[in-house]
Structure 1
Amino acid sequence: MPGSAAARPTWWPHFTSTVRSTALTARLGRALGIAFGICFLTGLLSYTQYLSTSWLPKPAVPAWGYRLTQGIHVTTGLASIPLVLIKLWSVYPTTFRWPPFRSVKRVLEIASAVVLIAAVSVQLVTGLLNLLDWYPFGWDFVVVHYALAYVVIGSLLIHIAIKLPDIRYGLGTKLAEGDVLSEVPWDENPDSHSNAGPLPPPVTPGISRRGVLVAAGTGIGLIVITTVGQSIRPLEPLGLLAIRQPSKGWQGVPVSETAAEAGVVEAAQDPAWQLEIVGPNPYVLGLADLDALATAEAHLPVAANKGWSVAADWRGIPLPELVERAGGGPGSRVLVRSLDRTGIKSSQIWGSQLAQALLATHLNGERLALDHGYPLRLIAPNRAELFCTKWLTRIEVLS
């Protein structure tokens, strides 16, 4: 009879482990679904930093908002890598069910799994490479990462819908019980919740199903603890996997892009440097003017899209003062331009972030280091470090 053990070719792969089970897979899947949901929502918040749309305001309060959400996004993404691998380990025997395409439901299950695995693999691998500042792929990381997030979530929801009976069965079954992913082929009921068929657990297993969950949770917990030190200062000594650490950088703040990488060393150190402010009443400021105007102080975090962040003491010129002098006001949109030749050359700021923005000349009591944006950089609350533009050369009051 089709689907029976006798009909399965002898060369077809089979599995004998009784550790894998529907109950174990369902619990791993639940954890992964939660992780993906957190990554998706915090990723959407992060993407708003890239949008210069007036209908989507960027609040200045809380000042540490981006620091929190992006830190969670990066940490959860890193933790998802081993979780995905464990989940795939728990289900890969189902790939070799015989016959492989027994029903329409089975075909849909395979198709949704293929799309999901492919999208997740690209998303996690390129996300990790982004943290390492390595872009061997030929596309815009931010655009693809954002678009692919919808593919991941969409295919995940479809896969959940198809597998919902198995998920309900697995979550409602004790780990010590439940059906086993093994060599046993499907039974005659194609709609059975069993992944492969029941087998008794071994008398002395190398590791129990509960042990798999404990080991996975412990490993993922270690990844989190050794990563979050890049955004939670007290845990910095444990940050063995942190890409950057707050204390390891000029003036106590990490550097995402150096002046040499941006190609601005000579221009930023030019004694004749001037800041051009363009508006109804245009004017320019020189280096000597900065020192006379830099009297405001603020304690604000700087938070990178790669997950690291640190709070610092800044001193400089309130941006609204310069905007008002140029003929603008609280409702103005302001474009700040950089000497940078390679990275983010300009960014816009408006609304409550503009009201509290600072053009920083000093960091932690010292004149800005060249790699931190000397002679002048933008610092604003709840704003990605990428858009706290360094090496300023021009400010345009747009409205």
Structure 2
Amino acid sequence: MLGEAVKPPTFKAPAHHIGVTSRVGTWLGITFGLCFVTGLLSHGVQHDWPWPTRPVDLYRVTQGVHVISGVASIPLLLAKLWSVYPKLFERPLVRNVPHALERGSILVLVAASFFELVTGLFNAAQNYPWSFYFPTAHYAVAYLAIGALLIHIAVKIPVVRRTLEPPSEERTVLSRRAFLRTTALTTGVAIVTTAGVTVPWLRDISVLAWRSPGALPVNRTAKAANIVVPPDWRLKAGPKSYSLEELQAMPQTTVELPIACVEGWSQNATWTGVRVADLVHKGDVRVESLERDGLYRATTLPEAFAQDPLTLLALKLNGEELTPDHGYPCRLIAPNRPGVLQTKWVTSLEVR
């Protein structure tokens, strides 16, 4: 009516708009999905799942994606929580059974997600301020997180479809786009500043990378493993045994292969030594170390890897004799294997 005050339109804060929540949630679903799938692959490789010897960089790529997608999930998860936190305090807390299931899945999802991302970061830094065994707990909670995520997606699909349609309020759109751009930029910065651990051409700018781009890093030193090489050390390979001098006198092969660790870092190196196929007959090979109490002091090398011409019992690294920290007197190096399975300080090769 003429002369009546017109109430100005109201706009929701851009960060808390349901459209923002849907978009950030979609990005988070993608990064979480990548992290989950590549994490399953890594777990499987370490627990005798079938795994190819080629391409030699496959594990390096999958584990790099696992860690990078996990890093990307951190700012996305924080942005997602910021966009929905007002709804977490709505009353009544539970309206009906479906609503209770939805809120329960959100609680499990948030708790499991934080557990996975925080413990994953600590693992990447090789810092374990807890008493549980990280791989088992990380693997188990991953299923809780992905299960809760699937329930949440199933409940929210209609809302996501509706809110991803082009909106009409211009001022709100611009504000929401600014928040989304900020979230995307923050996620990109997190990736770039850490991805150099596995992406060589990013190493000069990855200021937060947790491994030096210089010399080949070492996860477990000879001192930490309590390694003492006896003066009369010999390698037992099937029915035969060899001194270091006898191994050095055998035909030598030089290959370039990466060390790719479960923490996400990887680096190429040149290895020289004796082919494992020249030391043992066909079959899976149990590789034992001088280390006595390490979780990976003994590993099984599948026949496909043992017979691969790139798989060596390495005696030299980058043209120099192995140092104790890198596995002196000899170590295993095979294509497309996690670093924890590239056994150091080898003392025995036994066909099983």
TM-score normalised by the chain length of structure 2? 0.92
Structure 2 counterpart SS, 1:226: helix
Residue of 267, 282, 288 corresponding to 1:337: 288
Unaligned runs of 5+ in 2: 1-10
Deviations 1:317-336 (A, max 9, x none): 0001110xxxx22xx01000
CA contact (8 A) 1:294 1:361 kept: no
CA distance in 1, matches of 2:91, 2:351: 67
Deviation at 1:294, TM superposition (A): 5.3
CA contact (8 A) 1:225 1:239 kept: yes
Deviation at 1:16, TM superposition (A): 7.2
Structure 1 residues 364 and 58: CA distance shift in structure 2, 3 A: same
Identity %: 43
**Is the counterpart of residue 381 in structure 1 residue 335 in structure 2?**
yes
Structure 1 counterpart SS, 2:223: helix
- Paired residue type of 1:314: W
Report 1:304-323 matches (<5 A). 304-323=261-280
**Is the counterpart of residue 154 in structure 1 residue 143 in structure 2?**
no
CA contact (8 A) 1:228 1:235 kept: yes
**Is the counterpart of residue 352 in structure 1 residue 312 in structure 2?**
no
**Is the counterpart of residue 235 in structure 1 residue 202 in structure 2?**
yes
Residue of 205, 209, 226 corresponding to 1:263: 226
Deviations 1:216-273 (A, max 9, x none): 11111111111121122222111211110331xxxx3111111111110xx23x3321
CA contact (8 A) 2:46 2:338 kept: no
Structure 1 residues 260 and 308: CA distance shift in structure 2, 3 A: same
Report 1:254-293 matches (<5 A). 254-264=217-227, 267-268=228-229, 270-278=230-238, 282-293=239-250
Deviation at 1:175, TM superposition (A): 8.3
Structure 1 counterpart SS, 2:86: helix
Structure 1 counterpart SS, 2:138: helix
Residue of 211, 216, 223 corresponding to 1:253: 216
TM-score normalised by the chain length of structure 1? 0.81
My pick for the range that moved more, 311-320 or 293-302, is 293-302
CA distance in 2, matches of 1:372, 1:290: 17
CA distance in 1, matches of 2:285, 2:235: 14
**Is the counterpart of residue 22 in structure 1 residue 18 in structure 2?**
yes
Unaligned runs of 5+ in 1: 1-14, 178-199
CA distance in 2, matches of 1:147, 1:368: 37
Matched residue, 1:36: 32
Structure 1 counterpart SS, 2:181: helix
CA distance in 2, matches of 1:91, 1:221: 22
CA distance in 1, matches of 2:20, 2:253: 57
CA contact (8 A) 2:15 2:82 kept: no
- Paired residue type of 2:91: W
CA distance in 2, matches of 1:393, 1:48: 26
Report 1:182-193 matches (<5 A). none
Deviation at 1:165, TM superposition (A): 2.1
Deviation at 1:173, TM superposition (A): 4.2
CA contact (8 A) 1:263 1:342 kept: no
CA distance in 1, matches of 2:259, 2:15: 46
Structure 1 residues 176 and 132: CA distance shift in structure 2, 3 A: farther
CA distance in 2, matches of 1:76, 1:317: 37
- Paired residue type of 1:368: L
Structure 1 counterpart SS, 2:242: strand
- Paired residue type of 1:263: N
CA distance in 2, matches of 1:345, 1:38: 30
CA contact (8 A) 2:14 2:179 kept: no
- Paired residue type of 1:376: C
Matched residue, 1:218: 185
Deviation at 1:209, TM superposition (A): 1.3
CA distance in 2, matches of 1:175, 1:89: 23
